[in-house]
Chains A and B, each alone.
Chain A
């Protein structure tokens, strides 16, 4: 089973700042099948990034994903108030598909 470790656990930033979230896998993720999801309180998660770097439909271009193998990054270039949420990475290259434990992006 691939274990995904996200860091930091909590990230405190202000609107307008740049956010960098990390997701590290215990072994290489096949075909870079790595996705990022955003979840706001009381809501279902929403797909942001798939294939490590492809934005999902309707996702603003301030969100970008990068990385390969075992190290992946989600970057939000300029934080908007609506971006403060919990972010999860997930690998879907091998079974069982697994999620990271999440990064809570909070307003500073």
Chain B
């Protein structure tokens, strides 16, 4: 069974950093890209960025709203993807989902809540 479990969310002050993890199981993690999507309270879905599989270069792309502040990485030996959030702002408050990605986002984790507040 494909599973994705996010962790690392919590309450953080503006300007600080946080690292989210996405632990995968039930499939060959290294064969897939991983996308992060966020959802602010009561709002719609926002694409944050994704990291390609090593087969496709392992490179990452980001939304303009997070580029230069967020970094996506992966450790295929542990089947974990990471989202490093730096210079956090109050508008980054959201549930963060990781997704298994072929091209479409075919499996989603349950999400982890990040609250940025002083």
Contact = CB atoms under 8 A, between A and B. Distances in A.
Contact of A45 (B50, B61, B63, B108): B108
A56 B105 CA distance: 10
A98 B62 CA distance: 11
Contacts of B37: 45, 99
Nearest to A95: B61
A78 interface: no
Interface residues of B, number: 21
B110 interface: yes
Interface residues of A, number: 24
Given A44-B109, A44-B111, A96-B63, A33 B45 contact: no
Contact of A90 (B105, B107, B111): B105
B106 interface: yes
B82 interface: no
Contacts, number: 58
A99 B44 contact: yes
Interface in A48-86: 50-51, 56-57
B108 A96 contact: no
Given A33-B103, A92-B103, A95-B61, A44 B45 contact: no
A102 B45 CA distance: 8
B53 interface: no
Contact of A96 (B44, B45, B64, B106): B64
B86 to A, nearest CB: 19
A92 B46 contact: no
B35 interface: yes
B106 to A, nearest CB: 5
Interface string B79-112: 0000000000000000001000001111111110
11 contacts: A44-B111, A45-B45, A45-B105, A47-B108, A50-B104, A56-B104, A90-B45, A90-B47, A96-B63, A96-B64, A99-B45
Query: 7 tightest A-B contacts by CB?
Result: A50-B104, A44-B108, A35-B104, A99-B45, A97-B47, A102-B44, A95-B61
Given A44-B111, A56-B106, 6 more contacts: A37-B105, A39-B45, A88-B44, A88-B45, A97-B50, A102-B44
